[in-house]
């Protein structure tokens, strides 16, 4: 029996796709080994969102070829979709599989085309390693074409999973024991626009609520222009939707935002965040920001720093701008040098750590509802769980708490970690 190893780079959507592939192959009775071990088949689910992601994807392929030069190496994901020729040229690569044809991986592993499809891949429900939190991809692709982003070229137009199918899958995941489901998408806020008649993320969430689903629902990233009052009301009043939102800012400078082809201003973003924070109790907002976009002057960068300083956000994800061939921004003049990008990145990462710690401190002495995961933090010998508002909380708990959502009082914040005790 062939041993298979799979590795995944990039976002939650890629992780979901890998989980689907693994499920499909396990169903066909193939066994999996960790990806740093000798395997007969290596599957690399690549990312292409930055130059570094491309590089890491190529490195992994080379590493697997060295580990077992006779292994079958199958490459899928966004990098494979965007630049198949670059991948083909790497020694050891046997197959490149597009994002929409993952079921063909089974043919390649089997060595011949299968006679019948064992299970419609889009109906499969993958398992996730933590056994507490599952991802469900309800949307893929993007029609927005931000000027720096290669994703629309790699993943194609926006497509959504129908409402009925989404609810069916959520119910199955709940039956499998998951207590939290993350609704994932490349551009989640555009959910439903491709469906006939058109729907929306708000409609989908309302239908999920109406079903009386008994688990927490977490949203992955939603674009700032996609919050309407209906969505805000729903998140603030819902007993199941987590008070945690991730919203890409990308730049706090209006000129830069325009050149990024992002259709809002820094003022719009500030007003939105303040409105969300006052409407949704204890809301944690995470923000993405890009440093070193072409033409980003010192002044433009300082504008971004001051917007973030001012905002009541809980954490920051900082991305150094990466020049992606084929995108308009790759040909923009005044590309920022890598030393400046690094310096700006550090300033923002430090600011992000401060924001995170300040946010955690707001909950000292307060009660949070924590869902415990199966992972034990090795250094601290604590069990780790996540609050509804996405604070990782470490608790020295005895007994069977894994996969339970329990009340915890936050007792201290140290080394950037929140520590608590069970109530
Ligand atoms: S919204 Fe913009 S940044 Fe996000 S995937 Fe689409 S093009 Fe890329």
CA of 211 to the centre of ligand 1 (A): 31
pLDDT surpassing 90 at residue 353? yes
CB count in 10 Å sphere of residue 86? 14
Find out whether 136 and 183 touch, Cβ atoms under 8 Å: yes
pLDDT at 265 over 80: yes
pLDDT, tens digit, 9 for 90 and up, residues 36-87: 889 999 999 999 999 999 999 999 999 999 999 999 999 999 999 999 999 9
Cα(151) to centroid(ligand 1), Å? 6
Tell me what pLDDT residue 376 has. 66
For the CA atoms of the chain, what is the radius of gyration? Answer: 22
Residue scoring higher pLDDT (314 or 119):
314
Q: How far apart are CA 329 and CA 318, in angstroms?
A: 18
The CA distance from 78 to 17, in Å, is 11
Q: How far is the CA of 99 from the centre of ligand 1 (A)?
A: 17
| 205 HSE (CA, 13 A, CB side) | 28
Ligand 1 pocket: which of 142, 260, 324 to mutate (most atoms within 8 A of CB):
142
Is pLDDT at 112 greater than 70 in this prediction? no
- In the block, tokens 């396990």 appear at 26
Return d(Cα 320, Cα 299) in angstroms, integer.
17
pLDDT at 28: 84
Ligand 1 within 6 A of CB of 149: yes
- Residue 149 Cα: closest atom of ligand 1: 8
> Cα–Cα distance between 221 and 167 in angstroms, integer?
20
Predicted confidence at residue 91, as pLDDT, reads 93
- Percent of the chain's residues with pLDDT above 90: 80
Q: Is the pLDDT assigned to residue 380 strictly greater than 60?
A: no
Whether the CB of 187 sits within 6 Å of ligand 1: yes
Confidence of residue 233 (pLDDT cuts 50, 70, 90): very high
Sheet with 284-291: list strands edge to edge.
Answer: 244-250, 284-291, 315-320
What's the 95 CA to ligand 1 centre distance in angstroms? 28
Q: What is the pLDDT of residue 279?
A: 98
Which residue lies with its CA nearest to atom 8 of ligand 1? 149
The answer to whether the CB of 133 falls within 8 A of the CB of 373 is: yes
Which residue, among 28, 40, 45, 35, has the nearest Cα to 3 in the 3D structure?
Answer: 40
- Asked which of 92-106, 232-246, 313-327 is least confident by mean pLDDT, the reply is 92-106
Residue 94 makes CB contacts below 8 A (sequence gap 6+) with: 72, 73, 74, 108
* Cα(144) to centroid(ligand 1), Å: 6
Q: How far is the CA of 366 from the centre of ligand 1 (A)?
A: 37
Contact 246, 227 (CB under 8 A): no
- The residue whose C-alpha atom lies closest to atom 2 belonging to ligand 1 is 146
- Structure token pair of residue 245: 């939102």
Q: Is the pLDDT of residue 107 over 50?
A: yes
Residue 119 pLDDT = 34
Residue 375 has pLDDT above 50, yes or no: yes
CB of 151 shorter than 6 A to ligand 1: yes
Quote the tokens at residue 66. 């060295």
Please state the rounded mean pLDDT for residues 177-206: 96
Could you give all domains of the chain from N- to C-terminal order, each with its CATH number? 3-120 (3.40.50.12160), 122-361 (3.80.30.20), 367-422 (2.40.50)
Question: pLDDT digit string (tens) for 270-302?
Answer: 999 999 999 999 999 999 999 999 999 999 999
Q: How far is the CA of 147 from the centre of ligand 1 (A)?
A: 9
Query: Which residue has a Cα nearest atom 4 of ligand 1?
Result: 187
Please indicate whether residue 186, judged by its CB atom, sits closer than 6 Å to ligand 1: yes
Nearest to 86 by CA among 115, 135, 53, 118: 53
pLDDT at 26 (0 to 100): 87
Query: Which of 200-204, 209-213, 325-329, 370-374 is predicted least confidently?
Result: 370-374
- Centre of ligand 1 to C-alpha 251, Å, is 14
Using CA atoms, how far apart are residues 356 and 64, in angstroms rounded to an integer?
A: 37
In whole numbers, what is the pLDDT of the chain averaged over residues?
Answer: 92
Query: What is 5-40 written as a DSSP string?
Result: EEEE-S-HHHHHHHHHHHHHHHHTT-EE--TTS--S
> For residue range 131-158, what is the model confidence (pLDDT) as tens digits?
799 999 999 999 999 999 999 999 899 9
Query: Which of these ranges, 111-120, 219-228, 314-323, has the smallest mean pLDDT?
Result: 111-120
């Amino acid at each position: 029996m062939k041993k298979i190893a799979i590795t995944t780079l990039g976002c939650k959507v890629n992780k979901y796709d890998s989980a689907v592939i693994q499920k499909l192959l396990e169903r066909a009775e193939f066994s999996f080994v960790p990806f740093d071990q000798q395997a007969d088949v290596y599957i690399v689910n690549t990312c292409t969102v930055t130059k570094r992601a491309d590089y890491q994807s190529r490195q992994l392929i080379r590493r697997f070829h060295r580990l077992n030069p006779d292994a079958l190496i199958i490459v899928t994901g966004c990098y494979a979709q965007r630049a198949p020729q670059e991948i083909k040229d790497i020694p050891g690569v046997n197959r490149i599989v597009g994002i929409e044809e993952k079921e063909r991986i089974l043919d390649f592993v089997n060595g011949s085309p299968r006679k019948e499809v064992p299970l419609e891949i889009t109906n499969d429900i993958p398992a996730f390693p933590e056994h507490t939190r599952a991802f469900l991809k309800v949307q893929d692709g993007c029609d927005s074409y931000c000027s720096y982003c290669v994703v629309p070229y790699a993943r194609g137009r926006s497509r959504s999973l129908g409402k009925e199918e989404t609810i069916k899958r959520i119910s199955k995941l709940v039956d499998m024991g998951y207590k939290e489901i993350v609704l994932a998408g490349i551009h989640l806020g555009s959910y439903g626009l491709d469906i006939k008649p058109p729907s929306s993320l708000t409609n989908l969430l309302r239908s999920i609520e109406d079903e009386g689903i008994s688990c927490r629902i977490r949203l992955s990233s939603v674009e700032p222009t996609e919050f309407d009052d209906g969505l805000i009301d729903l998140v603030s009043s819902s007993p199941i939707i987590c008070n945690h939102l991730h919203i890409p800012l990308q730049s706090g400078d209006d000129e830069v935002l325009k050149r990024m082809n992002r259709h809002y201003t820094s003022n719009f973003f500030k007003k939105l965040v303040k409105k969300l924070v006052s409407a949704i109790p204890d809301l944690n907002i995470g923000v993405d920001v890009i440093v070193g976009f072409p033409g980003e002057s010192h002044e433009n960068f300082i504008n971004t720093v001051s917007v973030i300083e001012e905002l009541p956000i809980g954490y920051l994800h900082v991305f150094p701008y990466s020049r992606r061939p084929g995108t308009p921004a790759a040909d923009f003049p005044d590309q920022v040098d890598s030393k400046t990008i690094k310096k700006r990145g550090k300033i923002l990462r430090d600011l992000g750590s401060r924001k995170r710690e300040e946010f955690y401190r707001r909950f000292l002495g307060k009660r949070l509802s924590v869902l415990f995961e199966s992972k034990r933090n090795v250094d601290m010998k604590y069990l780790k769980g996540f609050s509804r508002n996405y604070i990782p909380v470490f608790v020295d708990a005895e007994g069977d708490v894994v996969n339970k959502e329990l009340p915890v009082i936050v007792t201290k914040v140290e080394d950037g970690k929140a520590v608590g005790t069970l109530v």
